[in-house]
Amino acid sequence: MSFSNDFKPFAIAAGANVLSPSTWAADPALSVGFQVGIASSTKANTAIRQASFVAAMIAQFTADNGPGNVQDNGILSALEAQFEAALIQYLGSYFQKILLVNTTFYVDLTIGSDTLYDGTSDTISGTHGPWATLAHALAVMATLNLNGNTATIQLANPGTYPSVSNGTAAPGNGTLIVRGDPANASSYILSGSPSAPNAVFGLSAGTAQLVGLTLSNSGATGSGVSVINSSLTLNNVIFDGSTTTGNHIEVFPAGSVIIQTGCSFTKSAGSALFIDGGAITQSANMSVSGSPAWSVACCKAINGGFFVFSSPGGYTFTGTATGQRYNASFNGVINTSGGGASYFPGSTAGATSTGGQYG
């Protein structure tokens, strides 16, 4: 959509009363200006035409590529900001787009469109409006250079959103946040039935956060979240659904998950925490509810993967579950900072083998 432009070129019609370019280029007035007396209308028209022609072209470019109508209102700062936005939008068609400030994008199940709107508003105005799917929002985010800033994808309303199961690359040098509502996480649901090695939410590059969401996994072998070569922080996230051998959280080499406040596990899984060469850091209390059953262990660490507290001895993992509490093997390390053998919810004792450690 092209917005309106108030800046118009002067004297551009055929036969306009202006000098030819070659005549104007040779005219002395070009270098010294009009002197005292009556200026030639032809020369004055030529000077105004050239200035207005270029000004109108820049203004039209701004209207074609910018965020709004280009108005002749005397507010220079507004026009400058619009021109800057138009340049970024235009160059983004050929080069990687740069995020200049922390920015919120929106996904709305009801009014959103992945083709009509640019995701920059939760209401519709021209081409500005929410996207329809989280998958599209994440695909756009992967094309950005966050430039050290934070891009937040805000789910605009409660509901069930399709999962993004095949590994989402968060752009580097900044943070990507997918946000529902921390005070109402059970109403903002990412749901899917992934098969291993996929997940309801997968992260394979960069730094991201999930805030105020429920991850509902009904796949037999897939996971709630899967992280490799990247870092994911969880804040007020509920792990729900029914999976037989899949895990709620799984971390692979060079992957890191930080568990912050308000995270809980409500349904059965292979493991609540499965760490294969990566790391999980508990930074707040966790809980289980609904007596989930672990077919492997509540916390499983293998191949040098490790579980640790961000503050020694400072957290709890409460609730009742069945199955093995923990299992560490092949140099996996589970460090509860002295939390004891019963720290993880379960009904049978944990175990270590083949270089695994628990403490």
pLDDT surpasses 70 at 254: yes
pLDDT score, position 120: 93
Taking CA atoms, 272 is separated from 191, 210, 266, in Å, by 17, 17, 10
Q: 345: closest CA among 259, 243, 265, 225? A: 265
pLDDT in tens, 22-70: 999 999 999 999 988 888 999 999 999 999 999 999 999 999 988 899 9
Dihedral Cα 302, 164, 159, 187, nearest 10 deg: 20
Pair of tokens at residue 239: 């792990």
Alpha-carbon span 135 to 234, nearest angstrom: 19
pLDDT of 276 over the 60 cut = yes
What's the whole-number mean pLDDT along residues 69-85?
A: 94
Which residues, at least 6 apart from 351, have a Cβ–Cβ distance to it below 8 Å?
A: 324, 326, 327, 328
Give the pLDDT of residue 173. 80
Stretch (H or E) spanning 308: strand 306-309
Q: What is the per-residue pLDDT for 169?
A: 64
How many CA atoms within 13 Å lie on the side-chain side of 98? 10
- CATH level 3 topology of 97-358: Pectate Lyase C-like (2.160.20)
Over residues 292-300, the mean pLDDT reads 97
DSSP state for residue 303 in the 8-state scheme: T
- pLDDT at position 1 is 56
Residue percentage of the chain with pLDDT more than 90: 78
**pLDDT band of 166, cuts 50, 70, 90:** low
Q: What pLDDT, on a 0 to 100 scale, did the predictor assign at position 126?
A: 86
pTM: 0.77
pLDDT digits (tens, 9 = 90+) for 220-241: 899 999 999 999 999 999 999 8
Domain with CATH 2.160.20 in the chain: 97-358
Highest mean pLDDT among 28-32, 125-129, 165-169, 301-305: 301-305
Q: Quick one: pLDDT at residue 168?
A: 64
How far, in whole angstroms, is CA 242 from its chain's centroid? 27
Which of the pair, 37 or 74, is modelled with greater confidence?
Answer: 74
Beta strands 207-217 and 175-179 are parallel
Token pair recorded at residue 138:
């994440």
Distance (Å, rounded) from C-alpha 176 to C-alpha 255? 16
